[in-house]
Structure 1
Amino acid sequence: MTMRERLERMPVASPIWAQRYPELLTIWEEEAAAPKGNIIRRNVCQGGVWDGLREDARSYVELSANLVADDVGLEGTAPRFGLRADSLAHSIGFQQIPLEQVGPRDPSTR
């Protein structure tokens, strides 16, 4: 199913949706496939490929306060690593997610 087909199944014209997501009412009118409104902010990337954005999409995406470096100040080993106290990531407002709360959970504990 395409993105357009999925959106057409959503009640975007209903009062609740129209109030909360007014931009969805006209999203297909101009430049339908453009990634308008995407914000990539306060991310940390160590080595490898950074954003993977196509050049024709860059003007639609806001990239701000991201840290891309060969050494961003990691400590520990994957998958349980964190940022050192002196990491530059702290200066961009990066907030580490609570790793202990990420991943599959036992349904009986919910």
Structure 2
Amino acid sequence: MTMRERLERMPVASPIWAQRYPELPTIWEEEAAAPKGNIIRRNVCQGGVWDGLREDARNYVELSANLVADDVGLEGTAPRFGLRADSLAHSIGFQQIPLEQVGPRDPSTR
């Protein structure tokens, strides 16, 4: 099933959907495949190029307050690393992911 077919099965014209997602009913009318409305904000990447956006998509995507640096101020080792108190990531409003809550867990604790 295509993305368009899946969307057509959704009640996008219903009041609750229309209030939360007003752009959905007309999303296929102009530039249907364009990544309109995507926001990439407050991400941290240590070294290298991180966003992987195609050039023809850049005009549709809002990139803001992201940090790419050779040393962003990490401490510890993967998978249990965090940010040092002096990390530049704090200056962009980055919020640490609670790593202890990520990944497989004992189903009986859910």
Structure 1 length normalisation: TM-score?
Answer: 0.93
SS in 2 for 1:22: coil
Distance 2:25 2:19 in 1: 10
For structure 2, list consecutive stretches of 5 or more residues without a partner in the other structure. Answer: none
Task: Using the TM superposition, give the Cα deviation of residue 107 of structure 1 relative to its aligned residue in structure 2, in angstroms.
Answer: 2.2
Distance 2:71 2:38 in 1: 27
Task: Using the TM superposition, give the Cα deviation of residue 12 of structure 1 relative to its aligned residue in structure 2, in angstroms.
Answer: 0.9
Larger CA deviation: 8-17 vs 63-72: 8-17
RMSD between aligned residues = 1.1
Task: Using the TM superposition, give the Cα deviation of residue 97 of structure 1 relative to its aligned residue in structure 2, in angstroms.
Answer: 1.0
CA offset digits 1:31-52 (Å, max 9, x no partner): 1001011000000001233100
Distance 1:56 1:43 in 2: 21
Larger CA deviation: 58-67 vs 41-50: 41-50
Q: Provide the identity percentage.
A: 98
Distance 1:29 1:46 in 2: 39
Task: Using the TM superposition, give the Cα deviation of residue 105 of structure 1 relative to its aligned residue in structure 2, in angstroms.
Answer: 2.2
CA offset digits 1:74-108 (Å, max 9, x no partner): 11000110111111000000000111111122222
For structure 1, list consecutive stretches of 5 or more residues without a partner in the other structure. Answer: none
Distance 1:16 1:93 in 2: 31
Structure 2 length normalisation: TM-score?
Answer: 0.93
Task: Using the TM superposition, give the Cα deviation of residue 2 of structure 1 relative to its aligned residue in structure 2, in angstroms.
Answer: 2.4
Distance 1:106 1:10 in 2: 34
